Structure 1
Amino acid sequence: MPRAFENRFKTVHLCLRFGLSMTSKRDISDIVVGLCKKRGFFWGPSPEIYGGSSGLYDLGPLGKLMKNRLEAAIRDSFVRVNYWEVECPTVAPEIVWKASGHLEGFVDPVTRCTKCGQAYRADNLIEEQAPDAKIRGLSLDQLTKKIKELGVRCPACKGELGPVERFNLMLKTRLGLDQDAYMRPETATTTYLIFKRLLTFFRDKLPAGVFQIGKAYRNEISPRQGMLRLREFTQVEGQLFILTEDEQSWSQFDSIKGDELPLLPYQAQIDGPNQVQLFSISDALEQGHFKTKAYAWCVDLAFRIFRTMGFSLESMRLRQHLPAERAHYAADAWDIEVYTNSFGWVECCGIHDRGSYDLGRHQEFSKESLSVKSGTETVVPNVLEIAFGVERPLFCHIDRAYAEDSERVWLKFPPHIAPIQVGVFPLMGKPELEGPAAEIHKELLDSGLVAYLDSSGSIGRRYRRQDEVGTPFCVTVDYQSLKDNTVTIRDRDSMEQVRVSRTDLLKTLQDLVRGNQVLGAPPTGQRT
């Protein structure tokens, strides 16, 4: 835990700095959210001028820049393994969601306070008030009993909670005058609807990979965790359409079989404690943690996507769903969880072996053939799915990046996903220094780096401002620059400064941002 929470004076200082009240005990979540709202990562609940609605947030300029970087990393990861991107409507007629099972099965457990009437998602509320309770996979009646057994009460008025019931998360709308429709709660279903077209695109050959990045909507019961539980969010879903015989003979397995993953199998959760172990993928397959080579490859792909987004191996684990948690048609399901300072382990991504359920259901309801030839047989293909929202890893990055000491607050983003990658400063607001700084700024923008030119205030204040938004490197033009055509590059985390030649500056910064070079040991230049 940062020292600010061990030192009363510093806690007061930070709360005042970010506009936080001291009427109750504050944790790191309050500090992080205050910083994000002050510096333009996100605001909300939205719309703020009308009091806000839980589960709706606005991304500010820095939050949007960072989200774009995460989406670019996601796209690059999928494209490199031959997945193709599509875009489909965010609303579909009622029959689509009846076929997919969402109208019946896309539900959360809800309980209402018998005193004030406030509704809560039952499982989340139990976990908040009794973190050690094991409730995954419990039925509605079992959750009701668990609430009484643990003495879980209404957070608002401390009243008694009523029985746990089902609540459908679909957002209903209407197309034209009389056609009932729903906003999509995920992107996968709309991908299945175009399977016949995709099959033609892939020349009737499977396996085939497709992904979408787009908006999805869920009418969450009572969103209580800020950016982690949204009613409107950006969903990423990749579908691998594959035949059963290809799942065990997956040709790409050999290239990843030696990769190691931090796994928490379901049996380890039942037996306790929740001990994560590193398994090579080949060992995990041999020990039955993964059933097929293709599914193991998809789990590894999802994990690599999160690594590409900048998450360290130590910050993540893969948790297997308990049998009672899985849908009846699911052969297997694992989640990528990221550890946060604010909420502990946070579920960020699901990898699901969905079998032929989805295409089979849409074939049944639409009366259109979604089958393919497999030898002499006609079969419905299986689907292996990777699914996650972008806003969760975005928040997790901000939460994990927060750092402070007695002198400053900074965000330790991996350079390649930082919203601003380079700050450019003239040492003072003098024309002879501002001109070269503006030239460097333009050169960096032209190269594709996001740079920010700032000549306002002392150089120390400008460094601190960029530290607070996570800018990894700052370039300063000083009077020595005019003499020998060198500038200084400052590292955000170490605050070390190195002089480099103007001619080497762009390549040095590109290598630093990509992680190909460490500032303390540049190929050229001297330390200051």
Structure 2
Amino acid sequence: MSSFEEIIELAKRRGFFWQSFSLYGGLNGFYDYAPLGSLLKDNIISVWKRFYMDAGAIFIDTPVVTPEFVLKASGHLDKFADIASECPKCHAKYKLENLVESLGIKNPPSTPEGYIDLLKENNVKCAVCGTRLIDAYQFNLMFRVTNNSEAFGLYLRPETAQGIMINFKLLNNFYRGKFPMAVAQVGKSFRNEISPRQGLIRMREFNQGEVEVFFDPDHEEWDEIPEGDKFTLVPNSGDEISSSVRDAHRSGLIKNAGLAYFMNLTAMILIRCGVDGKRLRFRQHRKNELAHYSSDCWDAEVLIDSDWIEAVGISDRGDYDLTRHQEFSGENMSVTVDGRTFIPRVVEPAAGFDRILTAVLFHSYYTRDNGNRVLGLACDVAPYSACVLPLMKKDGISEKAKDLLVKLAAHNHSVVYDESGSIGRRYARQDEIGTPYCITVDYQTLEDDTVTVRERDSTKQIRMRIDDILMHDNSFRNDNLKKFIQSSKS
């Protein structure tokens, strides 16, 4: 069993996620978030939102159903497609970009005709039945919604961005015409993937967070980029390098200051969520893989098993969207600032939370020498920040433990209660779901109101007064207590 398969097994068994509609055999590309996964996802989104709120972003929430005329204007109706091939014998479908890259073919073509030639030259065969693949065609990735009440078509949105773009004038008025203006949205998006696979990595319904940052092209005002860690940067030409984002921008490798700023912020968010910085890189899109609205794009990619997977795309959308919506709607999308009239440009960091969650699980998973499995989840995102364990169910200990549980919850701690099995078994159970701390209530607690606090990663334990724990809200959601316990001599 590979590490990825172990994560999928653990996720299903422990209640992080499982395939949707499994009672009826499941449906490819759709997954349910189970109780722990739902909490983990919400915590990851909360970290993401907190960073952008601190950066001054405002948030909106728009419908998932989008009229056809909006998608015609945005270019998605005509250009939001992948090139696919279908086996003439067993009818298995393939996204050809992924297929040819798995065969080691770099710089794939950008047209169906180019792929047809490539399939013939390389004698590419169906992985299911071995039949030669001979055809290639454009496959639109949007889901059309059955609609009998309107004169126009409706689609499930392929991205959250358009809900922000078409509200630009209203948002600009709300923000009193200031730039840059960052507008964020979290929600579901939908893509009719040709071959959904790898659990949460490639789904047809997924959780997305996008920020559209509108700015004055003649007066770009970005905060100073801190030095930051070094990452592998893979430009679309030339050799990959190891560099901080700040230095890569100063050297001219990352030409757009806005892209550099949000690449750096993205790295900070991912690492705070628990992505391993050594398994994080930034890759620049080749010209033939840029989206129709993008002039430049760097993906934050995370290493899962042996594959680099896009988790966040940081794209220069220029004035494409606003110009197109101005053309199709007839509404003037320009603004006037200090006597200058212009259409704002847009930089967009777009996060895929399902992929981030998968990377967080994968990067935090390890096995102890005794064979016990552990999820070393970051304190910020773990489903539960602590578990309260009564040593015994008698002599008033369980009552004292339940009273502590209520008090912790009242102080904004996400806590759970477990009184089943031995203490060692309960520790192992909480380690496997990523709970950072276990709080044991015992006979001494009844005497002096102290408890034993065990830290997950070091397994060290210290004695603490209950009042000290309750003194600070969310004390289990930062690393201070963890560092204190790990440095203790106990």
TM-score range, shorter chain: over 0.9
Shift of 1:379: 2.0
Among residues 385, 403, 419, which one is paired with 2:366 in the alignment? Answer: 403
2:287 counterpart residue number:
323
Among residues 48, 58, 66, which one is paired with 2:40 in the alignment? Answer: 66
Q: Report which stretch shifted further, 174-183 or 455-464.
A: 174-183
Is contact 2:232–2:241 with CA below 8 Å preserved after alignment?
Answer: yes
Among residues 9, 15, 27, which one is paired with 1:34 in the alignment? Answer: 9
- In the superposition, relative to structure 1, how do residues 148 and 32 fare at CA in structure 2: closer, same or farther (>3 Å)? farther
Deviations 1:446-497 (A, max 9, x none): 1111111111111111111111111111011122323333211112222222
1:14 counterpart residue number:
none
Helix, strand or coil at the partner of 1:89:
coil
1:4 counterpart residue number:
none
Cα distance in structure 1, aligned partners of 2:159 and 2:395: 53
Q: How many residues align?
A: 488
Shift of 1:362: 0.4
Helix, strand or coil at the partner of 1:504:
helix
Cα distance in structure 2, aligned partners of 1:527 and 1:476: 19
Helix, strand or coil at the partner of 1:125:
helix
Corresponding position: 1:143 with 2:112 = no
Corresponding position: 1:387 with 2:360 = no
Corresponding position: 1:165 with 2:128 = no
Shift of 1:174: 3.9
2:125 counterpart residue number:
153
Deviations 1:12-38 (A, max 9, x none): xxxxxxxxxxxxxx3122211111101
The one-letter amino acid paired with 1:474 is C
The one-letter amino acid paired with 2:172 is L
Corresponding position: 1:279 with 2:250 = no
Among residues 240, 244, 249, which one is paired with 2:217 in the alignment? Answer: 244
Residue pairs, 1:485-504, within 5 angstroms: 485-504=449-468
Is contact 1:338–1:396 with CA below 8 Å preserved after alignment?
Answer: yes
Helix, strand or coil at the partner of 2:244:
strand
Is contact 1:169–1:220 with CA below 8 Å preserved after alignment?
Answer: yes
Cα distance in structure 2, aligned partners of 1:296 and 1:313: 17
Helix, strand or coil at the partner of 2:480:
coil
Among residues 431, 447, 456, which one is paired with 1:467 in the alignment? Answer: 431
Residue pairs, 1:346-425, within 5 angstroms: 346-405=309-368, 406-425=370-389
1:17 counterpart residue number:
none
Cα distance in structure 2, aligned partners of 1:470 and 1:111: 41
Helix, strand or coil at the partner of 2:94:
strand
Is contact 2:274–2:363 with CA below 8 Å preserved after alignment?
Answer: no
Shift of 1:209: 1.1
Shift of 1:502: 2.2
The one-letter amino acid paired with 2:39 is L
Cα distance in structure 2, aligned partners of 1:176 and 1:196: 31
Shift of 1:520: 5.4
Cα distance in structure 2, aligned partners of 1:158 and 1:35: 33
Among residues 173, 179, 187, which one is paired with 1:206 in the alignment? Answer: 179
Shift of 1:377: 4.4
Is contact 1:334–1:351 with CA below 8 Å preserved after alignment?
Answer: yes
TM-score by length of 1: 0.87
Is contact 1:423–1:453 with CA below 8 Å preserved after alignment?
Answer: yes
Cα distance in structure 2, aligned partners of 1:504 and 1:328: 56
Helix, strand or coil at the partner of 1:240:
strand
Helix, strand or coil at the partner of 2:481:
coil
Is contact 1:423–1:452 with CA below 8 Å preserved after alignment?
Answer: yes
Shift of 1:134: 1.5
Corresponding position: 1:258 with 2:258 = no
Deviations 1:163-197 (A, max 9, x none): 22110001111445243111100000111111111
The one-letter amino acid paired with 2:235 is Y
Shift of 1:147: 3.8
- In the superposition, relative to structure 1, how do residues 338 and 280 fare at CA in structure 2: closer, same or farther (>3 Å)? closer
Deviations 1:131-177 (A, max 9, x none): x4324564433434444444442222222213221100011114452
Cα distance in structure 2, aligned partners of 1:336 and 1:51: 34
2:271 counterpart residue number:
307
Shift of 1:317: 1.1
2:59 counterpart residue number:
85
The one-letter amino acid paired with 1:476 is T
The one-letter amino acid paired with 2:67 is P
- In the superposition, relative to structure 1, how do residues 151 and 481 fare at CA in structure 2: closer, same or farther (>3 Å)? farther
Is contact 2:74–2:162 with CA below 8 Å preserved after alignment?
Answer: yes
Is contact 2:47–2:380 with CA below 8 Å preserved after alignment?
Answer: no
Q: Percent identity?
A: 37
**Structure 2: unaligned runs, 5 residues or longer:** none
Shift of 1:527: 5.7
Is contact 1:73–1:309 with CA below 8 Å preserved after alignment?
Answer: yes
Residue pairs, 1:451-462, within 5 angstroms: 451-462=415-426
Is contact 1:496–1:520 with CA below 8 Å preserved after alignment?
Answer: no
Cα distance in structure 1, aligned partners of 2:479 and 2:471: 12
Cα distance in structure 2, aligned partners of 1:293 and 1:182: 35
Is contact 2:367–2:373 with CA below 8 Å preserved after alignment?
Answer: yes
Q: Report which stretch shifted further, 285-294 or 26-35.
A: 285-294
The one-letter amino acid paired with 2:15 is G
Shift of 1:355: 0.8
1:125 counterpart residue number:
99
Shift of 1:438: 0.8
Helix, strand or coil at the partner of 1:78:
helix
Is contact 2:441–2:451 with CA below 8 Å preserved after alignment?
Answer: yes
Shift of 1:241: 0.8
Cα distance in structure 2, aligned partners of 1:72 and 1:418: 12
Is contact 1:416–1:513 with CA below 8 Å preserved after alignment?
Answer: yes
1:432 counterpart residue number:
396
The one-letter amino acid paired with 2:161 is A
Cα distance in structure 1, aligned partners of 2:155 and 2:435: 41
The one-letter amino acid paired with 2:77 is L
- In the superposition, relative to structure 1, how do residues 149 and 506 fare at CA in structure 2: closer, same or farther (>3 Å)? farther
Cα distance in structure 2, aligned partners of 1:205 and 1:415: 36
Is contact 1:123–1:143 with CA below 8 Å preserved after alignment?
Answer: no
Helix, strand or coil at the partner of 1:493:
coil
Helix, strand or coil at the partner of 2:332:
coil
Is contact 1:317–1:337 with CA below 8 Å preserved after alignment?
Answer: yes
Residue pairs, 1:222-237, within 5 angstroms: 222-237=195-210
Is contact 2:41–2:353 with CA below 8 Å preserved after alignment?
Answer: yes
Shift of 1:308: 3.1
- In the superposition, relative to structure 1, how do residues 55 and 280 fare at CA in structure 2: closer, same or farther (>3 Å)? closer
1:215 counterpart residue number:
188
- In the superposition, relative to structure 1, how do residues 280 and 335 fare at CA in structure 2: closer, same or farther (>3 Å)? closer
TM-score by length of 2: 0.94
Cα distance in structure 2, aligned partners of 1:161 and 1:93: 36
